[in-house]
A and B are shown apart, each in its own frame.
Chain A
């Protein structure tokens, strides 16, 4: 059974929680005691109906205010797939929490209220999903019951969204008309929309083809930990442990270690289930080589003729995530990239992007909380990176404030600075 991670964004008003509640309930992932607890809480809060949002809004502050503040993770499975939902807040104030939940998603659900059409919030969600390179997007046109299940209205919204989406990079875009409240096209195809010939949301989630999303071409193995047993039985064992983040590794492959540039060949690949003939993302393995070469944490093992870019001057899109400071030129920060840690200097803020209109403000001189912009960085040591659009794991980094130790920025590499 495969694993599919998807992210939802939205507020209670979009019907996001109702939709998740419906998916969980109909796939029997909501338990009786959870439902009883939600019913109790709803009554206590004076709600007229059971508020399914209380299933995911688990923090006291969220229940008090009736909003989603932080990501909640929910799980359900069908006979075909296991699903991890990152249920994220939709409000602009919590963009950083949305980005947290969406960073590893295979698929994004963007909710649109059929009555209101595409509002600023939906545009922002779609933009962030494309910025994070979530490979699949499903636009759920919800509350179709309130527009009389009207095909023309659905087509209108679809056309408007497609028009906007041409400015984004979304490899796979689908539209589903549904009513989360009544269950139309959520789990079963709706009888109210005979004109709709596509699949129900759940069917789409079960069938969407994700196997081709991973990069199986560029072998990338950031060394995480060196295994040296120092025991008699394993006297000469020296394993380089880590997670394969791209390509395929096989025993016998010629490899090069960066930054040293020394080459060797792979002797064995050990996994939790024994030695294997091939390793690929996202397997956690231990690689042994035929030569003793100096390799430690933070080094990158790859193929000699397919190497990541090595460099210290990098351009990236950065999302700033703290209200305690702003990102301005000359800021110094710690940076984590693959298994490598460095420090960096912000050399230039090229522009700030308006996440609602996609307008580039080249006169901006700072990025504040939840703002996104193109930044040039200089790092203290070379990084071994790919463009984020080519590999989400060798193309991403986080920025850490060395004074507060907080994670303050998320970066997606565009390439070497010009």
Chain B
């Protein structure tokens, strides 16, 4: 007998597809941010479903810090090719080369903050009026406050104290030329929902999400991978560990976690029992201060 009751994943999926279709219907030039990270992979899958059997009615954009995990870039290109989507790359390296931004120096230098400039420049250059992001409200306390449609002024700024009321499934995407809307279709998904959906749908992810051996060193309580993008300091000891990534970001500030989880089911079991949030475990960029995320978001960060 049909009980006319959706599972939580079906309800979340329906909500996300509704949001994605609204944007495609009401905006002239939307773009979907795609990093190859699990959240954006799921978001892209939802977009694919929302328009089936049509191709995606918007391009995808990667804000490329130049500090990438090779596995992730390979995955990004493969997925974009499968979908026949158009890929726009907003390059932080180009922004540095052209003098738009100046790179931080020193062993702890990160390009995290520079992404904002590259992202806003690309939005302006391409005339994008809506940018889908894969942020989730359970990730971080400032994100827990953000609307699904997040208005950005002509400087790309978010004003958390003055957000538009957002009721029912009625979204207000109105903006003037030069302003844009960030849209977060998977706002209500949790890390565990994402993994359960990956399992249910058999979604392919970059291999770094699963346990592998990697040369790492410890910094600020996180395991950072040895790569050409980071400088290992004298007191830091390089060791090979069995690790996986819970989030994928700039290779210079994304930490790995020790894990033996080699399949999606293993990861679900791990996520369900973990006592540390994914960003707390793996993101140096959030540790600057209590309001590091809010401050960056105000400037136009994802």
Contacts and interface: CB of A to CB of B under 8 A. Distances in A.
A, B co-complexed: yes
Interface of A: 1-3, 28, 31-34, 37, 40-41, 55-56, 58-61, 63, 69-75, 77, 81-82, 84, 96-97, 99-100, 103-104, 211, 214, 216, 224-225, 227-229, 231, 233-234, 237, 239, 241-243, 248, 270, 272-273, 278, 280, 282-284, 286, 297, 321, 334, 336-337, 339, 392-393, 396-398, 400, 405-407, 410
A398 B161 contact: no
Interface string B124-167: 00000000000001101110110000000000000011011111
A73 B172 contact: no
21 contacts: A28-B275, A32-B276, A55-B141, A59-B142, A69-B161, A70-B145, A73-B188, A75-B138, A82-B8, A104-B167, A229-B55, A233-B53, A237-B53, A241-B50, A272-B17, A283-B10, A284-B14, A336-B170, A405-B172, A405-B174, A405-B176
Contacts of A3: 6, 8, 11-12
A282 B290 contact: no
Given A32-B276, A282-B11, A396 B24 contact: no
Which one of B12, B164, B187 has the highest number of Cβ atoms from chain A below 10 Å of its Cβ?
B164
A248 B12 CA distance: 19
Contacts of A32: 275-276
Contacts of A81: 8
Given A1-B7, A278-B2, A31 B277 contact: yes
B294 interface: yes
B17 to A, nearest CB: 4
A224 B25 contact: yes
Taking residues whose C-beta sits less than 8 angstroms from the other chain, chain B's interface range is 35 or more
Contacts of B120: none
A283 B14 contact: yes
Contacts, number: 187
Given A2-B7, A282-B6, 15 more contacts: A3-B12, A33-B281, A56-B144, A59-B141, A59-B294, A72-B145, A96-B165, A100-B167, A225-B25, A227-B52, A280-B4, A284-B15, A284-B17, A339-B22, A398-B165
B170 A396 contact: yes
A209 B73 CA distance: 47
A405 B7 contact: no
Nearest to B18: A243
Nearest to A210: B5
Given A31-B275, A37-B290, A82-B8, A211 B145 contact: no
A224 B176 CA distance: 23
B190 interface: yes
A407 B164 CA distance: 6
Contacts of B169: 104, 243, 393
B22 A224 contact: yes
A232 to B, nearest CB: 11
Contacts of A41: 290
A379 B204 CA distance: 48
Contacts of B4: 211, 214, 216, 248, 278, 280
Contacts of A59: 141-142, 145, 160-161, 291, 294
Nearest to B221: A33
A103 B193 CA distance: 23
Contacts of B107: none
Contacts of B6: 2-3, 282-283
Sorted nearest first, the 5 A-B pairs with minimum C-beta distance are A58-B141, A33-B280, A405-B174, A284-B17, A272-B49
Contacts of A56: 141, 144
Contacts of A283: 6, 10, 14
Contacts of A241: 21, 50-51
A241 B57 CA distance: 14
Which one of B14, B46, B168, B174 has the highest number of Cβ atoms from chain A below 10 Å of its Cβ?
B168
Contact of B144 (A73, A278, A339, A397): A73
A186 to B, nearest CB: 21
B291 A60 contact: yes
Contacts of B18: 224, 243, 282, 284
Contact of A400 (B166, B174, B192, B277): B174
Contacts of A239: 53
A407 B54 contact: no
Interface string B257-301: 000000000000000001111001100000000110010000000
A28 B273 CA distance: 9
A40 B15 CA distance: 36
A407 B172 contact: yes
Interface string B210-254: 000000000000000000000000000000000000000000000
B214 to A, nearest CB: 23
A63 to B, nearest CB: 7
A71 B170 CA distance: 17
A393 B175 CA distance: 24
B188 A407 contact: no
A324 to B, nearest CB: 11
Contact of A406 (B3, B10, B164, B275): B164
Nearest to B175: A405
Contacts of A100: 165-167
A33 B46 CA distance: 31
B181 to A, nearest CB: 10
Contact of B25 (A61, A216, A297, A398): A297
Given A37-B290, A216-B4, A243 B14 contact: yes
